[in-house]
Amino acid sequence: MSSQNKLNIFITGPTGYIGGSVLVRLLQYPDSNCFQISALVHSSTKAEKLKTLGIRPVLGSYSDLDLLTREAAEADFVITMTDSDALPPAAAILAGMKQRHVKTGTIPKLIHTSGVAFVMDNAMGMHGDHPVYSDLDIDAIEAVPDTQFHRNVDIPIIAADKEGYLMSYIIAPANVFGTPTGALVDMGIQNEHSFQLPIFYKIAISRKQGGYIGAGKNILPAVDVNDTADLFLLLFNAIRSNPENVAHGREGIYFAANCEYTGYEIAKAISEALVDLGIGSSPEATSFTKAELKLYFRNLWPLLAPTCRPRADRSRALGWKPHHGKDALLASVKPEVEYFFSKVGVNKYTNSCPIAYNSRL
């Protein structure tokens, strides 16, 4: 098949924790030979390795706005899996997709990765009393303040869909856990670890005991990374098969969430893992002191102890069947703690804020 007849797919974040898992599934797609996948990468090393998989690497960064516009203008599908709160790159991609629509008369498709944080509260670890938000309840979602996380990007994307020059689909994952596998992991170019939970792993290693914020009663959602990637591909396939029957725009929000846990439960699991690994002395978890909150989180600690209760009804109605629940989440704690201990040791983060070593919240 000539390149002119292939489905052009532009991906950002192709070697990330979620992005790499989605890319692997695209490569395994039954008619992947019909795709021309272009992937934004930062390093020439990753670019060369992706070439061996038949991927066209686009060397640059998510801040190269002109580049993003050019690539989006050439794509039938854009899948963004990078910074969900970065508006200028998102706007650049929307501009490129609008150019494509004007030039070709077609309606390109955008699958954007957001997050469930836009339905979280400010529980500060003290309670789990918060409404459950279904991704089918559009009125409740639209009533969420525009100032909530991710809304600064999600709202313009939905507006672009309403304008008619693209069809938008927003996947909003919960706290992601689990171990990705596949060609990118084997090549050593995929991030194999999540963002939020490792913050608590690193801090616990430093203090040799699991910790929770406030009373540890806040309730948080979680989802396995492989189940999350399956949702992306399920949605992608449904759009390709019959786009008119797949909810998009204001109705096109798909939660990826499959279980819930409290701040205390994950802290206790961490403490037990530390004891099993010979790092900690007590299987019990303790509340962070005020001094520890300042040391480890600076003034950001309230953001890590909300209650957030999304329910993935629309995703399940699409046919999503996640396989990994709370048992899998708790079972993932020990190997993750062991990994980060092997990398950072006990003293690495004693006098610094682990959040500063991560790209974003």
Q: Is the separation of the CB atoms in 84 and 114 below 8 Å?
A: yes
pLDDT band of residue 23 (cuts 50, 70, 90) is very high
Residues 6+ apart with CB under 8 A from 94: 72, 110, 156, 157, 160, 166
pTM of the model: 0.95
Q: What is the pLDDT of residue 5?
A: 82
Q: What is the pLDDT of residue 37?
A: 98
What is d(CA 174, CA 272) in angstroms, rounded to the nearest whole number? 24
CATH 3.90.25 residue window(s) in the chain: 196-222+259-307+324-349
Instruction: Report pLDDT digits (tens) over 243-252.
Output: 999 999 999 9
What is d(CA 41, CA 14) in angstroms, rounded to the nearest whole number? 7
Instruction: Report pLDDT digits (tens) over 340-357.
Output: 999 876 655 555 555 544
Give the 3-state secondary structure of residue 295.
helix
Instruction: Report pLDDT digits (tens) over 273-313.
Output: 999 999 999 999 999 999 999 999 999 999 999 999 999 99
Say what percent of the chain tops pLDDT 90: 92
Cα–Cα nearest to 155, from 166, 168, 137: 168
Q: What residues does 9 pair with on adjacent strands?
A: 37, 77
Instruction: Report pLDDT digits (tens) over 58-67.
Output: 999 999 999 9
Pairing of strands 35-41, 167-173: unpaired
Q: What is the pLDDT of residue 115?
A: 97
**Is residue 31 classed exposed, middle or buried when 0-12, 13-18 and 19+ CB atoms within 10 A define those classes?**
exposed
Query: Which CATH number does the domain 196-222+259-307+324-349 belong to among 3.30.43, 3.30.310, 1.10.12, 3.90.25?
Result: 3.90.25
Residues 6+ apart with CB under 8 A from 361: 149, 196, 300, 303, 355
Query: Which CATH number does the domain 3-122+132-189+223-256 belong to among 3.20.10.10, 3.40.50.720, 3.40.50.20, 3.40.50.410?
Result: 3.40.50.720
What is d(CA 221, CA 121) in angstroms, rounded to the nearest whole number? 13
User: Above 90 in pLDDT, residue 190?
Assistant: yes
CATH 3.40.50.720 residue window(s) in the chain: 3-122+132-189+223-256
| Average pLDDT of the segment spanning 100-115 | 98
